[in-house]
Amino acid sequence: MSLTNELIQQKLTDKFGDKLIDWAQPYGMLTFTAPKELNLKVLQFLYDDPELMFQFLTDLQAVHYPDNKGAELAVVYHLHNLTDNIRLRFKIFTDINNPDVYSATALFAAANFMERETYDFFGVNFTGHPNLIRILNVDEMDYFPMRKEFPLEDQSRVDKDDEMFGRG
Amino acid sequence: MSDHILLPEGSIEKLSTTLNLGPTHPATHGVFQNILELDGERILKATSTVGYIHRAFEKLAERRPLYQITPLTDRLNYCSSPINNMGWHITCERLFGITLPKRVDYLRIIIMELSRISDHLICNSIVGVDSGAFSGFLYLMQFRELIYEIYEEVCGSRLTTNIGRIGGFERNFTNKAFEKLEQFLATYPKQLKEFENLFNRNRIFMDRTIGCGAISAERALNYGFTGPNLRAAGVDYDVRVHTPYSSYEEFDFSIPVGKTGDCYDRFLVRNQEMWQSLSLINQAYNKVKEFKGADAEVFHADVPAYYLPEKKDVYTKMEALIYHFKIIMGETDIPAGELYSSVEAGNGELGFYLISDGGRTPYRLHFRRPCFIYYQAFEELIKGGMLSDAVITMSSLNLIAGELDA
């Protein structure tokens, strides 16, 4: 295990300068934020660099932060270097009104379904995806259900007082 | 006369046949639809449709306290629910920073390896059934029953187990549970050996599965394969070794790998993993037996703020009642944090990506379901093969609809 979080951070900073921000290591996993135009460049660099070799896409999903105006949707990539057994996570933020993000399908075949799922639930529009259609929800659905403005329970109900249960 | 026959335009000129395999079809063992373009029996093109049993678990999880999310994880890969449950408990424990007593870790390993066996034995015997060999299925099925009886002794239920709690188990293992475990350990190896004798060098089975649904290691990695399907392609990636949890690092076991990534290799890898699991259970059980006296009564960590107390204590003890109320009513705030934690489930790396903002429920919870990720390779795997190979490839990938759709 020669590769460490610090070394990865150093290499990425050498390459991309101060464009990568919010470096942190929650629970030991290196985490940072990249500008959304650079997502493929970062993925490609992490993939190609002979030392980094992050060639396994573990997971890809989105998170909705409605209060984060202008950058409501975060797309989160989890990558794994299987040789050195080290993982990292990076995020890109995008405006919910312009949720265009470059698709990683050319690099990872695994990204196909994951991006379709992310599109299906959050409406992130992955440009360059070969078949960006709904995957788990019905085709007729006209909204993106995992966004926070869609509450789980029917808010018009008056017979349940959620205040009693700390749900507010 | 020809104006009376109303054929869709172009249907005469079309040289291939379109066939719907699924959504419900006896050979798919679940709700999967595949629209196949066939030239005779050869598959030219396949289009997979998923989502027939989508149950919005991620959305549900955003409104539930952590202990209420465990039953959701049951319903992912329902052939090995306990691993999913443990994976979720381990995620929560990592978030809280709880370290478990060793005995709990070993008991968990026993349960997790039992469910890995029950997962693999279903998959492998179904591969047998789909290739026309029914008897192996009958021989092994009775042992799944025995495994389910062990679950029943521990947690009271069989299929969707909801086994364990955050911080440990809901109760100590009974003597009956250990007796059944001993019975399993004594009888299963013989039966598994017989199962292997029936299949491993069976000419018909080999001809049927070798070279069928094969994938190279490179493609498998690119497709995000994990678990036995990746190992069958020759990559020795196993979460139990790479990111040990639940004290797996103390155990001695090997990771079987295949070479070609075809149905036959997947079958052999799963069989070998059952042997490894048996050895792990034996080791863990021996370690459990070393605990004597009060140590043998330990079945959970001492974390009253997170561990749901035993019901009999709730009725008789003040603290237990308070903590029970706080946990059930969601008064216990969970620490803020962001965490990815994974376990080696029956089908591969089952990951939980949990973002907590410090409230009573997760802000976001994402399940990395191995099935969902490797199913996208199915179209490529069956292309150019025969229709009957598609069926056997599907069962040897061990697709579980619950895990696929979440």
pLDDT digits (tens, 9 = 90+) for B244-291: 999 999 999 999 999 999 999 999 999 999 999 999 999 999 999 999
Are B363 and A63 an interchain contact pair (Cβ–Cβ within 8 Å)?
Answer: yes
Q: Does B242 share its domain with B130?
A: yes
**Residue A151 pLDDT:** 79
CATH code for position A12:
3.30.460.80
Q: Tokens in use for B192?
A: 């598994």
With a pLDDT cut of 70, the percent of chain B lying above it is 97
The verdict on B71 and B42 lying in the same domain is no
The per-residue pLDDT for range B46-64, each reduced to its tens digit, is 998 888 889 999 999 988 8
Cβ B62–A55 below 8 Å, yes or no? no
Same domain, B103 and B147: yes
**Nearest CA distance, B5 vs chain A (angstrom):** 33
The per-residue pLDDT for range B370-381, each reduced to its tens digit, is: 999 999 999 999
Cβ contact, residue pair A63, B373, below 8 Å: no
Q: Give me the mean pLDDT over the B322-328 stretch.
A: 90
For residue B385 the two structure tokens come to 């093969």
Interface test with A, best of B31, B242, B366 (most A CBs within 10 A): B366
Note whether B355 contacts A31, CB cutoff 8 Å: no
| Distance from the B58 Cα atom to the nearest Cα atom in chain A, whole angstroms | 8
Terminal alpha carbon distance of chain A: 48
pLDDT score at B110: 95
Residue B20 has pLDDT above 50, yes or no: yes
How many domains is chain A partitioned into structurally? 1
- Smallest Cβ–Cβ distance between A113 and the set B340, B366, B376 belongs to B376
- For residues B365-372, average pLDDT: 93
Residue B86 Cα to chain centre, angstroms? 11
On chain A, the residues whose CB falls within 8 A of the CB of B368 are: 58-59, 78
Residue A118 in domain = yes
Residues of chain A below pLDDT 50: 168
Are B208 and B354 in a shared domain?
yes
Q: Are residues B219 and B340 in the same domain?
A: yes
Contacts of B340 in chain A (CB under 8 A): 27, 29, 58-59, 78, 87, 89
Q: Between chains, do A109 and B56 touch, taking CB under 8 Å as contact?
A: no
Mark residue A110 as left, alpha or beta (left: phi above 0; alpha: psi -120 to 50; beta: remaining): alpha
Under the banding of pLDDT at 50, 70 and 90, the label for residue B1 is very low
**Residues A58, B360: C-beta atoms closer than 8 Å:** no
B119 vs B123: CA distance, rounded Å: 6
**Percent of chain B with pLDDT strictly greater than 90:** 70
Q: Collect all residues of chain B within an 8 Å Cβ-Cβ radius of residue A59.
A: 340, 351, 353, 366, 368
| Global confidence as pTM | 0.92
**Same domain flag for B21 and B77:** no
Q: Is B33 on the interface with A (CB under 8 A)?
A: no
Nearest by CB to residue A113, choosing from B222, B330, B372, is B372
Res. B211: pLDDT tops 60: yes
Q: Which residues contact B40 (CB under 8 A, 6 or more apart)?
A: none
pLDDT tens for B64-91 read 888 889 999 999 999 999 999 999 999 9
| Interior angle at CA B351, CA B365 and CA B371, nearest 5 | 110
Instruction: With a threshold of 0.95, tell me whether the complex ipTM lies above it.
Output: no
- Closest CA–CA distance from residue B177 to any residue of chain A (Å): 36
Name the residue with tokens 């620490």: B335
Q: Is the pLDDT of residue B133 over 60?
A: yes
pLDDT of res. B360: 82
Q: Mind listing the pLDDT tens digit for each residue in A99-137?
A: 999 999 999 999 999 999 999 999 999 999 999 999 999
> Into how many domains does chain B fold?
2
Contacts with B, A 74-93, CB within 8 Å: 76, 78, 82, 85, 87, 89
In a domain, A81, yes or no: yes
CATH of the domain at B242: 1.10.645.10
Residue A158 in any domain: the answer is no
Domain boundary among B33, B49, B65: B49
> Which of B340, B349, B373 has the CB atom closest to A113's CB atom?
B373
Please report the beta strands in B29-173, taking only residues with DSSP state E, as ranges in sequence order. 33-39, 42-49
Question: What pLDDT shows up at residue A3?
Answer: 86
The confidence score (pLDDT) of residue B10 equals 65
The whole-angstrom distance between A128's CA and the closest CA on chain B is 18
Q: Is the domain of B111 the same as that of B84? A: yes
Given CB atoms, is B312 within the 8 Å cutoff of chain A? no
pLDDT score recorded for residue B17: 87
Q: Are residues B61 and B45 in the same domain?
A: no
Q: Which domain holds residue A87?
A: 5-152
Based on the fold, state whether residues B114 and B44 are members of the same structural domain: no
Query: Does the structure show a pLDDT above 80 at B168?
Result: yes
- Say yes or no to pLDDT of B341 above 90: yes
Q: What range does the domain containing B25 cover?
A: 2-49
Show which of residues 82-121 on chain B sit within 8 Å of chain A, judged by CB atoms. 94-95
pLDDT of residue A165: 55
Residue B219: pLDDT band by 50, 70, 90 thresholds? very high
From the list B33, B29, B129, the residue with the least C-alpha distance to B79 is: B29
Say whether residue A1 is in contact with chain B using an 8 A CB cutoff.
no
B44 and B61 in a single domain? The answer is no
| CA separation, residue A46 to residues A9, A11, B46, B225 (Å) | 11, 10, 32, 19
Same domain, B179 and B210: yes
Residues B114 and B187 in one domain: yes
